[in-house]
Structure 1
Amino acid sequence: MVTKLSNRPRKLAHIHLGVDGGAERFFVRLSKALAERDVEQIAFIRPDRSWRDELARHCDVRELTFSRSHIKRHFVRWHITHEIKKFGASSTLGWMSPASKWLPKPGPNMRTFLRLGDWPDGFHTYGNVQHLIGNTPDIVAQAIEMGWPADRATVISNFVEPLPEDLKPVDRAAYNTPSDAIVLVHLGRFVQRKRFDLMIKAVAQLPQTVHAWLIGDGELMNEMIALARSLSVEDRVHFMGWQRDPAPYLKAADILVCPTDDEPLGNIVLEGWNVGLPVIAAASPGPSWLIENGVNGLLFPCGDVEGLIYSVRNTLARADKIKSLVKNGTQSLEQNLSAISISDQYLRLFSMDISSS
């Protein structure tokens, strides 16, 4: 029996200033999942986001320019507040710290939340935030250590959507990758903490049959291209660029690797499980929370290229181990990280009625 939590209208406002990445993919997924639970939504986003049309299928999208000007900032916040009141939202959810400065003041008919998918960097813009949501225990713990009230913080993880049964992998030949190669895949922004360099260094010490697909873009891409060239593995390290939907690429790979040094959650771990890949990850906070080492994935010490190489070799040497890791990773998603389970947690926190869902 599901408890009826509130008679309020099931209306939610979002404020999201992001560009492209795992957080944005989850934003669209959560909005869709809530729409399927009969939650009416409005979202304030920056113009020309690549995911705008996908979001608009189930959410009223308002594109705004979020100015840094003190005067314009107050006008934009006033406009957002006016539109939220007119819409009749009972809750407003800001996404990541930059959204906090645009949150309207909470009141008797509207509560405010801020969702963090990364470490908090201070609360100086959190004046209108009533409640924090972190997608891992470590994010919430750090916020509390920094002084945020524990009774105003909640952990709610991410989820991934089941993939279409007819999902087709990309053609390896289109990316100069032999059909019989062992493909390691990593994706994200080309920034220092994502440690794309570990992938390249590992490939240089692994057999010639091992290739790496690096999906994403960012400031360090040219440096990583130069590193691959200096290690003479430019023919086995493939830079795939940013992909709005990485699933067909993951489907064509053999092992997902998350070598990030400081990963709060690790959406790519979930995405790897979702396509049925064995997952190897650096033991940073998020993956260490998601992965039981040796059961649903393998962990190696952060920054340890030899540990990564050992994990890859150990995985490739045992077909039974691959099968077990994949099976248990799939179970982890289905049992703990489904769209229904996670959206239920949001609805409860927002005090929305889920009795009919």
Structure 2
Amino acid sequence: MATDPVSAQRKLAHIHLGVDGGAEKFFVRLSRALAKRGVEQIAFIRHDRTWRDELAEHCDVRELKFSRSHFKRHFVRWGIARDIRHFGAGATLGWMSPASKWLPKPGPDMRTFLRLGDFPDGFHTYGNVQNLIGNTPEIIRQAVEAGWPQERAHVISNFVDPLPDTLAPASRAQFDTPDDATVLIALGRFVERKRFDLLIKALARLPETVHAWLIGDGDLQEDMRRLARDLGVENRTHFLGWQRDPSPFLKAADILVCPTDDEPLGNVVLEGWNAGLPVVATASPGPSWLIEHGKTGLLSECGDTDGLARHLLQLLENPAEAERLVTASAARLNEGYSEDGICAQYETLIWNRGG
């Protein structure tokens, strides 16, 4: 069944195999923003995603079992392609490398895109991918360096939703944190590259009035609890678990910290700016692309506990500098990472034959 080019012009299919995290939040956010602009969408996702109902508010959701069996995979891919044709979409957007296996075959009635929020690790499953979208220049640089055609590689960053004025901050008392404490907040999975250990070590060098909120979960969480005990900051290190919406916690905090060794974008930097927080980060690829050191945030070398602690102390001792960073980062966020601007880039690439 051929797709009517007029009806397909504003119909988009998504394939997303993710679980929970920043990439999933942006997927829901972007699809909602495109829906507000009149784009009809269908999404193929795994069963029991926590964000399924939120996505279904503006998108036709199909929950599937994505089999690892080479034989069964053909039937699943065929079913997805059939449903996309019946829906009438003229473009499909896969999210992260695992989705590349399930993209329909491109052709006159179908354009295919793969959106990466992390560095590529090879193209062996990219046979049906026409265009790559990376949310930082470094992702695309590495893809092109590895052999992906430059003319089919595009950089489009993320955006964040403005926090409502009526949003209430999370209760500090609920997490054994004094009202007059300075709260550092960090978000992410407890995995090695996120370097929560760096933040805990830096906390041990800061005044007793400074507390840290760590939001997330993962295999290394118990190791981080043990480190906090060993360094004598157990009572100032608070593990808040994974939070579907971290906005109230950001609003209750004072400084956002991104201590990662390897962060392609650092969506948490945008979240921090959006919440009106000064940002202290390590110079991994994403944060060092987003942040202009000394103007929109402070950057130290990856793995440098002394540098991270020094920059945090710098803001503690100079509230005026922290406020200056907040003002400049708010302007940067509005200028380069607004919903309208990012959606316009997606629409131009997908429907105006920009790729």
Question: Which residue is 1:143 aligned to?
Answer: 143
Contact in 1 for aligned 2:216/2:240 (Cα 8 Å): yes
Question: Which residue is 2:74 aligned to?
Answer: 74
Q: Which amino acid letter does the alignment assign opposite residue 349 of structure 1?
A: L
1:205 alignment partner, SS class? coil
Question: Which residue is 2:83 aligned to?
Answer: 83
Question: Which residue is 1:133 aligned to?
Answer: 133
Instruction: Summarize deviations over 1:68-99 as a string: whole Å, max 9, x none.
Output: 01111111000000000111111100000000
Q: Distance in 1 between matches of 2:352 and 2:68?
A: 34
2:351 alignment partner, SS class? coil
Question: Which residue is 1:346 aligned to?
Answer: 346
Q: Which amino acid letter does the alignment assign opposite residue 287 of structure 2?
A: P
Q: Which amino acid letter does the alignment assign opposite residue 113 of structure 1?
A: F
Q: Does 1:19 pair with 2:25?
A: no
Q: Distance in 1 between matches of 2:239 and 2:17?
A: 27
Q: Distance in 2 between matches of 1:139 and 1:39?
A: 27
Moved over 2 A (4+): 6-9
Q: Which amino acid letter does the alignment assign opposite residue 267 of structure 1?
A: N
- The structural deviation recorded for 1:352 is 4.8
Residues 8-87 of structure 1: pairs in structure 2 closer than 5 A: 8-87=8-87
Q: Distance in 2 between matches of 1:102 and 1:252?
A: 41
Question: Which residue is 1:187 aligned to?
Answer: 187
Q: Distance in 1 between matches of 2:129 and 2:207?
A: 52
Question: Which residue is 1:95 aligned to?
Answer: 95
Contact in 1 for aligned 2:10/2:351 (Cα 8 Å): no
Q: Does 1:214 pair with 2:214?
A: yes
- Corresponding pairs, count: 348
Contact in 2 for aligned 1:10/1:352 (Cα 8 Å): no
Instruction: Summarize deviations over 1:310-340 as a string: whole Å, max 9, x none.
Output: 0001111112111111111111111110001
Q: Distance in 2 between matches of 1:209 and 1:317?
A: 13
Which structure carries more relative contact order (alpha carbon 8 Å, separation 6+)?
1
Structure 1 residue runs of 5 or longer lacking an equivalent are 1-5
- The structural deviation recorded for 1:178 is 0.4
Contact in 2 for aligned 1:137/1:155 (Cα 8 Å): yes
Question: Which residue is 2:281 aligned to?
Answer: 281
Contact in 2 for aligned 1:34/1:343 (Cα 8 Å): yes
Contact in 1 for aligned 2:130/2:152 (Cα 8 Å): yes
Q: Does 1:119 pair with 2:115?
A: no
Q: Which amino acid letter does the alignment assign opposite residue 116 of structure 2?
A: L
If the length of structure 1 is used for normalisation, what is the TM-score?
A: 0.96
Instruction: Summarize deviations over 1:17-56 as a string: whole Å, max 9, x none.
Output: 0000000000000001100110000000000000011111
Question: Which residue is 2:258 aligned to?
Answer: 258
If the length of structure 2 is used for normalisation, what is the TM-score?
A: 0.97
Question: Which residue is 1:231 aligned to?
Answer: 231
Question: Which residue is 2:202 aligned to?
Answer: 202
Identity over the aligned pairs, expressed in percent? 68
